[in-house]
Structure 1
Amino acid sequence: MTSTESSRIVITGVGLTAPNGNTLAEFRENLLQGVARISNIEMRYMGQVHAGVCDFDAKKYQARRELRNSTRAGSIAIFCSREAVADSGVEWESVDTSRVGVYIGTTEHGNVETENEIYNISQYDYDVRFWSHHHNPRTVANNPAGEVTLNLGITGPHYTIGAACAAGNAGIIQACQMLRLGEVDFALAGGVSESIRTFGIFAGFKSQGALAVHEDPNKASRPFDRARNGIVVSEGGAIYTLERLEDAQKRGARIYGEIVGYKINSDATDAVLPNSERQKECIEAALAKAGMKPADIHIVNTHATSTPQGDAQECKAIREVFPAETCPETRVNNTKSFIGHAMGAAGALELAGNLPSFEDGMVHPTINVDDLDPECALPNLVKNTPEKRPEITTILNNSFGMLGINSCLIVKKFAE
């Protein structure tokens, strides 16, 4: 099937697992009800740390033998992909799987398995006979996407997109581009994270002074609050089925929304500290691609991770693009306050948390904002309780990552 760059790309299915929900309906209900689910887990060499842990049924789509050979990221990707395909209503048996593409963003894949294998052989005097012979396929960068193709019998292209914490958005953007190029007719796209399975992530953030600590784990992730002190590391995933509009309409698919704008750029200034000017440019370029003005956006979902400098920098960019005087209908929220930072899955999960706004007209809040930091004062920030709006037709989703990668995705309520 041929296509053009002007093809409209729509979302027709959603599959996810988050610390506070394994379906879109459950996830959304908990966001509206203010339900966070952050746990304390035991981490080797570190003791107890806060973490967002998912509780999904991996055996629903994988046999026991598959699970022995699989990675956690792969299992999350398979679960979410299968759920998305089921949700899309597509007759999978009649799909030409050579025309299906799998594009999954991830942050840290590979080091998780290596770290765990090294720890395992350390118990046996580092005898490599105890090293898993599944190590290589587990650690290659394309693993999560590749596991999906094996499980679903997909023979089209697959790869993971390493884009730090902008990876979830990047996976969706890549799928849009491949659909518009006519390389595929159906795409599975989004992001996954297995970050809580490695002490290195936690130790790295702790050494930077960026690991959240709070007596109540459910209050540890507190973007914009004056007392915020770092990131809550989480696992999870969100995968979408994406199609060209004409293909979705031909089969009578339900349409969650249309992807109308996106942009990825780079700070080129620091490996860790964000650059608000580049973030602003990323947002503005996504708006330009969508043919929209800032005032056209109804929800801005922030990336804010609960670090002092990171949150303040993003807030500066948002204030400059969306001033209250000219954007009175724009509302701002944050999803990490509920689930922590799901790294490569963050952008994809956060988009999912807001998608139902097109139908219910609600903006889910940012929770744990007890004492708003003046540096994070934003026009129309929705704090602690949801807000009902007369109309919600546009969502702008920010995701930024280390080494200065920025991504912005705009989704619009579908209209003919």
Structure 2
Amino acid sequence: MLAHHQRIVITGVGLAAPGASNLHEFRKQVLDGRSGIQEIDLRYFGTAPAGLCSIPETKYRKKKENKKGTRAGCLGVYCAHEALLDAGLEQSVYDKARTGVYIGLTEHGNVETENEIYHLKQYDYDVAYWSHHHNPRTVLNNPAGEITVSLGITGPHYSIGAACAAGNASLIQGVQMLRLGEVDMALAGGVSESTGSFGIFASFKAQGALAEAAAPEQACRPFDQKRNGIVVSEGACIYVLERLDRALQRGARIYGEIVGYGMNSDAKDFVLPFDQRQAECMELALAKAGLRPDQIDIVSTHATGTKQGDAEECRAIRSVFQGTGSPFINNTKSIIGHAMGAAGVLELAANLPSFDDQLVHPTINLDDPDPECLLENLVVGEPAQGSTLSTILNNSFGMLGINSAVIVQAYRGSS
């Protein structure tokens, strides 16, 4: 068993976001404040703003394999391969039996079930025509499992269901498994295929929580007086996590070090968030990192564009950071929408390059700030220039009151 203080670093990033298929493209997109949202037309539901990904789907596996699997699996396989390539591990130095795959999901199986029922309709709902692929497509470990099949990884794989905190939760799981000595390398991240499900859109609409706008790219507007809900997006982001000593040994480029994290539960409501528990979650992460609030340079907000959700998070942030010389604060969902299980990891990826270029990407569509959402140093419209940006606190919160915060720091030497 390894010591709990083993340092864990990020050495590879693979992603698919609305508007980008790699980190370089993604960073340019968020710095430009260029929306990845478009209008889609869902069966039964109709049109809605949404975020869709465009990736070279047959880069790492054949069309037949993609068809046999799921959209979530397709996104996951692409991002896992890209992450390993980015980390210089395409010819892996790690034993595949000592490699873990941990994938965060908000939901899984909705798309396949809806598709099968739609397919059955033409056969008068005769279940003899139900696909034999349904079960392996809809088990919760599917996206993680598809990654192991594609890469020949024989170590542990599983999915982590933590609503929209699932991406952060997967990073935490990867860190813990590396520190426990259960694996020597981890592929950790989140995946969402939610734009394929009309039921998700219909449910948010029934809650009064689905965004509407005359122009789709203006629909996601966290903190704005005119915000009216969530823009649903698909997406994925997977990181290569390694122990620092092994990463240094092989001369890896290090994006950052995961120095702290916190997770807790509101224990209050099925849907509505709770600022006190969110604040406590951030404080847990700070305590684990051994950092004070004034040592955080960027807070990446979860804010989804809902009335209460945005206001609750802003209260939580103010309570943690008041009187500290506030960090820069931004929101990535305003640009790419809400990628559910992939949201937290994509939003972290949007901010990671700040360690190199010393820029903080902007929040867009914030034309009329809500007084309940006022935050000092909220970056709006244009990037902000930093000078010593080296620490990010990444928030992700989800339904049933699950909260997460992950703190990543620029690598500062091996001492």
Aligned: 1:389 with 2:391: no
Give the equivalent residue in structure 2 for 1:358: 355
Give the equivalent residue in structure 2 for 1:319: 318
Q: Please state how far the C-alpha of 1:130 moved relative to its aligned partner.
A: 2.1
Distance 2:259 2:184 in 1: 18
SS in structure 2 of the partner of residue 11 of structure 1: strand
Cα displacement string for residues 330-355 of structure 1 (whole angstroms, at most 9, x for unaligned residues): 11000000000000000000000000
Cα displacement string for residues 307-332 of structure 1 (whole angstroms, at most 9, x for unaligned residues): 00000000000011112x3224x110
Give the equivalent residue in structure 1 for 2:91: 92
SS in structure 1 of the partner of residue 396 of structure 2: strand
**CA distance 1:94–1:396, shift in 2 (3 Å):** closer
1:229-248 matches, within 5 Å, as 229-248=228-247
Distance 1:101 1:167 in 2: 16
Give the equivalent residue in structure 2 for 1:341: 338
Distance 1:240 1:179 in 2: 14
Paired residue type of 1:354: N
Q: Please state how far the C-alpha of 1:91 moved relative to its aligned partner.
A: 5.0
Distance 2:315 2:108 in 1: 32
Give the equivalent residue in structure 1 for 2:284: 285
Paired residue type of 1:372: P
Give the equivalent residue in structure 2 for 1:159: 158
Q: Please state how far the C-alpha of 1:95 moved relative to its aligned partner.
A: 2.9
Query: Structure 1 unaligned runs (5+)?
Result: none
Give the equivalent residue in structure 2 for 1:179: 178
Cα displacement string for residues 199-246 of structure 1 (whole angstroms, at most 9, x for unaligned residues): 111001000000000001001000000000000000000000000000
**CA distance 1:94–1:316, shift in 2 (3 Å):** closer
Q: Given that residues 57 and 63 in structure 2 are in contact (C-alpha distance below 8 angstroms), is that contact kept between their aligned partners in structure 1? A: no
Q: Please state how far the C-alpha of 1:157 moved relative to its aligned partner.
A: 0.2
SS in structure 2 of the partner of residue 59 of structure 1: coil
Distance 1:91 1:132 in 2: 34
1:183-222 matches, within 5 Å, as 183-222=182-221
Paired residue type of 2:121: S
1:56-95 matches, within 5 Å, as 56-95=55-94
Give the equivalent residue in structure 2 for 1:23: 22
Q: Given that residues 94 and 184 in structure 2 are in contact (C-alpha distance below 8 angstroms), is that contact kept between their aligned partners in structure 1? A: no
Distance 2:43 2:8 in 1: 44
> Displaced runs of 4+ in structure 1, greater than 4 A?
none
Cα displacement string for residues 4-63 of structure 1 (whole angstroms, at most 9, x for unaligned residues): 211000000000000011010100001011111211111111111111000111110111
SS in structure 1 of the partner of residue 239 of structure 2: strand
Cα displacement string for residues 274-298 of structure 1 (whole angstroms, at most 9, x for unaligned residues): 0000000000010000000000000
> Normalising by structure 1, what TM-score?
0.98
Q: What's the C-alpha RMSD, in Å, of the aligned pairs? A: 0.8
Paired residue type of 2:94: V
**CA distance 1:397–1:94, shift in 2 (3 Å):** closer
Distance 2:135 2:168 in 1: 27
Paired residue type of 2:49: H
Distance 1:104 1:197 in 2: 19
Q: Which moved more, 1:140-149 or 1:43-52?
A: 43-52
Give the equivalent residue in structure 2 for 1:379: 376
SS in structure 2 of the partner of residue 58 of structure 1: coil
Distance 1:270 1:280 in 2: 17
Give the equivalent residue in structure 2 for 1:4: 3
Q: Please state how far the C-alpha of 1:93 moved relative to its aligned partner.
A: 4.6
Give the equivalent residue in structure 2 for 1:310: 309
Give the equivalent residue in structure 1 for 2:260: 261
Distance 1:94 1:406 in 2: 35
SS in structure 2 of the partner of residue 7 of structure 1: coil
Q: Which moved more, 1:41-50 or 1:278-287?
A: 41-50
SS in structure 1 of the partner of residue 58 of structure 2: helix
Q: Given that residues 361 and 384 in structure 2 are in contact (C-alpha distance below 8 angstroms), is that contact kept between their aligned partners in structure 1? A: yes
> Normalising by structure 2, what TM-score?
0.98
Paired residue type of 1:129: A
Distance 2:12 2:68 in 1: 28
